[in-house]
Structure 1
């Protein structure tokens, strides 16, 4: 595998290790990245959380992606074998198997994968995906229908999701390429929009936020012309959610705010089609509730934690009905916002809630690991909850 090595370090500590390996001083790296040396020093010391946009800026002078700086999640030896099996299945994208695959079996396996993903059961999803991908490949080639190719595209979308969560960037980028290929065999406008959304996600993970925004804007125009009604609102909505996330991480915060507000306004307009109930389609979620979680994260990425906290005032209501894959990261972002305004106790409470909602995701998510690192550094006395999270995360106090 060509990805960067696994790391047990939280992102800020991983950044320090990468910088030291390259023989760069803090002053040198900060100057090349266009950030202050004092900010870099605070991040490495554990006094400030490493934000994704800052990770992207610091990675560029070292020839690293944002995902490299945040650190590739570690996996067990058994999971390494499953990752290799998944790589093999992706390589064989145009080699259907000889065994017969029945529609009922594919639909049942897809539903199981959806359940594992919604519950953030990362280990079960990884165990299921290699064979599911091979079966879906065979089925799509055999029956050659729109629904069959959409099913295969959905499997590749889930592969991308899993790879991106672990920062396996070679697999993530290959998955979105295969996803687009699958959906183009029998084009479905909604599938095309979802594939573009995931492709823009690969740009996001790599730190190329401008490139990702280009993909999003082009896909929105295509969805607006190729779809109608709620399907168009859904496609445009999920693309705008990706767009606001990308915009929030632009290095130029003035431009980022302008672009983010454009995508936020468009997302809210699309969300009006769904009243108070979000739609779930092909592992995508869109509606007012998921829009709220993305606006919170975007305000935070723009360096406006107090605005993020304002969005979170009725967060329990917003999270009602959303899967663990949205609840966990949103609680992590709330913890980061609280940390940024000096509310350490609130941040610890929110981080604990994130672990309770999605423990397997929290274990590998850079925000959860980074917020814990900073909290453990700032608290002069160990709290029982910090000790619990230390054991769960594998990060020493």
Structure 2
């Protein structure tokens, strides 16, 4: 099980894992294929641990990336809801005969996906157990593909919640059940399930494995799907592939997925929201910005990000919060510490619950607080929000 981190900063776990094994920095650096100087900066909170570097270090330790990053604690008072949620997931094929009012179901689904868009992790956690139980019961009663699509959609939300906290046992179980529901549903649900399956590879640091899942799903979608659903499926898959390739710093594969995502996005005048899943021109830009930072193209990321934020953007907090985190990464890499603090503060303002648990936010906070100490009141405020002692 992933180690829970008492204060934000996945990079802090690197030294703990190294010391636990009795390894010297030279030995770990050599195993991870990085310089001792870089490793030392990560351990001393002078350089943020990126997902790519984290994957190399996790591989050197022989553990999954999510274990190195550490799992985030559940929202306050959520333990009972999570226990109930696990029970509902286990009883996927054991429905009850409780009556389900479909009109209430539709309303509650809309509310769930709105809460997800707002990055309200606590409310999503509270809503999921009862809603998942009802959509499963109703799908068993009707047997209709569209009702199984609802089940797959809710399991995608379970995956999203679990992945945000790096609860990978729950995330992987959610994807397994999502795939089972999708097989009884339609091709779009199967494509989304493949995207989320690739996400578990991303969370675990197996970027190449995730790309293989994406490529297989792209071939399947191209061969079997038509119309709007085809472009939505391909777009979502290419965005996942883009992220995975960026973590590998594989320029050619990045460009292949950028082209695929842009081709699909060109079919939509504006971003669409299908059961909490966003795709279109804006979300494509957001993913390209994040990948530019992974590829160390930080100036390009800042230019694109600032241009986007000056426009009339429509994406919800669950996308805009990480955008600010990635702009903070780019600014820090370009030695604009004050700008990085401002962007991280924006991420906390837009999506505070996500900022508290997201590894990028945690790591940026750890490094910026270490670099600024008590010299910047904005950093002091961030430290108080994140629970990091000064």
TM-score (norm 2): 0.97
Counterpart contact for 2:2–2:68, Cα < 8 Å: no
What secondary structure, in the 3-state scheme, does the structure 2 residue paired with 1:11 have?
coil
Q: 1:344 corresponds to which residue? A: 337
- Structure 1 residue 61 displacement after superposition: 2.1
User: Are 2:262 and 1:261 aligned?
Assistant: no
User: Are 2:382 and 1:389 aligned?
Assistant: yes
What secondary structure, in the 3-state scheme, does the structure 2 residue paired with 1:78 have?
coil
Counterpart contact for 2:92–2:136, Cα < 8 Å: yes
Change (3 A) 1:76 1:229: closer
**In structure 2, distance between residues paired with 1:138 and 1:145:** 12
- Structure 1 residue 23 displacement after superposition: 2.0
Q: 2:105 corresponds to which residue? A: 106
User: Are 2:352 and 1:353 aligned?
Assistant: no
| Segment of structure 1 superposing worse, 76-85 or 143-152 | 76-85
Q: 2:321 corresponds to which residue? A: 328
The equivalent position to 2:366 in structure 1, one of 343, 362, 373, is 373
- Structure 1 residue 19 displacement after superposition: 2.0
- Structure 1 residue 88 displacement after superposition: 1.3
Backbone CA RMSD of aligned residues: 1.5
**In structure 1, distance between residues paired with 2:91 and 2:195:** 24
| Segment of structure 1 superposing worse, 41-50 or 75-84 | 75-84
- Structure 1 residue 319 displacement after superposition: 7.1
Change (3 A) 1:358 1:76: closer
**In structure 1, distance between residues paired with 2:317 and 2:279:** 15
Change (3 A) 1:267 1:318: farther
What are the superposed Cα offsets for residues 129-167 of structure 1, whole Å, 9 maximum, x if unpaired? 111111111111111111110000001000000000000
How is 1:1-397 mapped onto 2 (pairs within 5 angstroms)?
2-75=1-74, 78-186=77-185, 188-250=186-248, 253=249, 256-275=250-269, 277-317=270-310, 320-397=313-390
* Equivalences, count: 390
Structure 1, unpaired ranges of 5+: none
**In structure 1, distance between residues paired with 2:67 and 2:296:** 22
**In structure 2, distance between residues paired with 1:261 and 1:316:** 24
| Segment of structure 1 superposing worse, 311-320 or 355-364 | 311-320
Counterpart contact for 1:290–1:318, Cα < 8 Å: no
What secondary structure, in the 3-state scheme, does the structure 2 residue paired with 1:280 have?
strand
Change (3 A) 1:117 1:319: farther
Change (3 A) 1:294 1:245: same
Counterpart contact for 1:289–1:319, Cα < 8 Å: no
**In structure 1, distance between residues paired with 2:232 and 2:42:** 38
Counterpart contact for 2:11–2:48, Cα < 8 Å: yes
Counterpart contact for 2:2–2:70, Cα < 8 Å: no
**In structure 1, distance between residues paired with 2:200 and 2:143:** 28
Counterpart contact for 2:25–2:40, Cα < 8 Å: yes
**In structure 2, distance between residues paired with 1:207 and 1:356:** 29
- Structure 1 residue 76 displacement after superposition: 5.2
Counterpart contact for 1:319–1:327, Cα < 8 Å: no
| Segment of structure 1 superposing worse, 80-89 or 331-340 | 80-89
- Structure 1 residue 369 displacement after superposition: 1.1
- Structure 1 residue 14 displacement after superposition: 2.0
Counterpart contact for 2:195–2:237, Cα < 8 Å: yes
Q: Which runs of 4+ in 1 moved over 6 A?
A: none
What are the superposed Cα offsets for residues 244-297 of structure 1, whole Å, 9 maximum, x if unpaired? 0000111xx3xx11111110111111111113x111112211111110110011
**In structure 2, distance between residues paired with 1:61 and 1:152:** 38
What are the superposed Cα offsets for residues 200-257 of structure 1, whole Å, 9 maximum, x if unpaired? 001100111111111111111111222223221111111000000000111xx3xx11
What secondary structure, in the 3-state scheme, does the structure 1 residue paired with 2:266 have?
helix
